[in-house]
Amino acid sequence: MKNNLQYFYGSFIVTFFGLILGAVVGYVYTGTVAGALSALFLTFVLGILEVSLSFDNAVVNASVLRDMTPLWRHRFITWGIAIAVFGMRIVFPLAIVSLIAGINPWAAIVLAATKPQEYAQIMLSSHVALAGFGGAFLLMVALTYFFDQEKEVHWFRHFEHFMASVGKIQAIELAICLLLFYGLSRFLETPEEQVTLLVSGIFGLITFVLVDGISLFLKLPEAGQRNVEKASAAMFLYLEILDASFSFDGVIGAFALTNNLFIIAAGLGIGAMFVRSMTILLVEKETLNQFLYLEHGAFYAIGALASMMLLDLFVHVPEVVTGLIGAVFIIVSILASIRHDRKTKTMAAA
């Protein structure tokens, strides 16, 4: 049986090479040791930022991985991290810039390498669309969890019991999201931004409905045992889109620290590796079974992240604040779980 530290050996190795890459990039761009050290520090900070924003993602990943077959669990741990690091932290920003600027992907890479400030401006101009899609998807993830009528364990008992009762109303979470996005769009300054938020939000909702619906369909008992692999494949897709939604906030926030794509990729890649390690630890150690309310804390944190993404459309919310809110929910849920466990054991002993 591995000790907890062994799960992070791969992450430490990636951190070592990621910091070196960040320092090399800094030296190439500035030609000075001071520039290299500054880039190394930025890479480290970005890694911390990514972990703080995505710890709740690791908890949700672990809760879904429990229901996946060993094959697809292994594929998520291997393929998934490649998609997370290279796809969402490198390819995705380049694709966004390529689409908005009307240039081919190679030209986007050249732009990122030679004119990082212009590249960053183009990337940040997509903030409304990314916040709309990611906010809608994450909000649906959180609301679906709390509106679940079959949810039996409640952390904040009265509130969550009420939410589960309201969940009897068909598609209530969809109605709430649509009304919320319509209301938020009315406060944006330009008609273009209003339409962008509504369209991106609708696509976020559609994506959630399709992925979640396919996953639930394939998990139906009548689907047969032979379709378990297909169900796991659907859950794999769900987790990848969830990670993409989480990464929006991290990628956008990273540009507040640096406009260098390569430093951002190195820093966020380090963070993504630690999230992977935490996910594996949570699954293999069955941590979710040990801490009764940890999963609840993660979904509260997801709801908070979605809210912060949408609030950021009007008032800038520092990424540190967003990360701290998520961390507080996780820590408090762990403490509440420990207290509940002690109380249960005391009552059993009596």
Query: For 29-72, how does the pLDDT look when each residue is reduced to its tens digit (9 = 90+)?
Result: 888 999 899 989 888 888 887 777 777 778 877 877 777 778 87
Report the mean per-residue pLDDT for the chain. 82
What pLDDT score does 217 carry? Answer: 62
pTM assigned to the model: 0.78
The set of residues, in sequence order, having a beta carbon less than 8 Å from that of 279 and lying 6+ positions away, is 58, 61, 62, 65, 77
Q: What are the extents of the domains in the chain?
A: 4-345
| Residue 281: other Cβ atoms inside 10 A | 18
What is the band of 341 on the pLDDT scale with cuts at 50, 70, 90? confident
For residue 329, which of 294, 282, 279 has the smallest C-alpha distance? 294
- What is the pLDDT at residue 223? 47
DSSP annotation of 315 reads S
Percentage of residues in the chain with pLDDT exceeding 70? 91
8 A C-beta contact, residue 309 and residue 249: yes
Based on the number of CB atoms within 10 Å of its own CB, is 2 exposed (0-12), middle (13-18) or buried (19 or more)?
exposed
Q: Summarize pLDDT for 303-339 with one digit per residue, the tens.
A: 888 898 899 888 887 777 777 788 888 889 889 988 8
Q: Which residues contact 74 (CB under 8 A, 6 or more apart)?
A: none
CB 133 within 8 A of CB 203: yes
Average pLDDT over residues 235-239: 78
* Most trustworthy range by pLDDT among 151-155, 191-195, 237-241, 243-247: 191-195
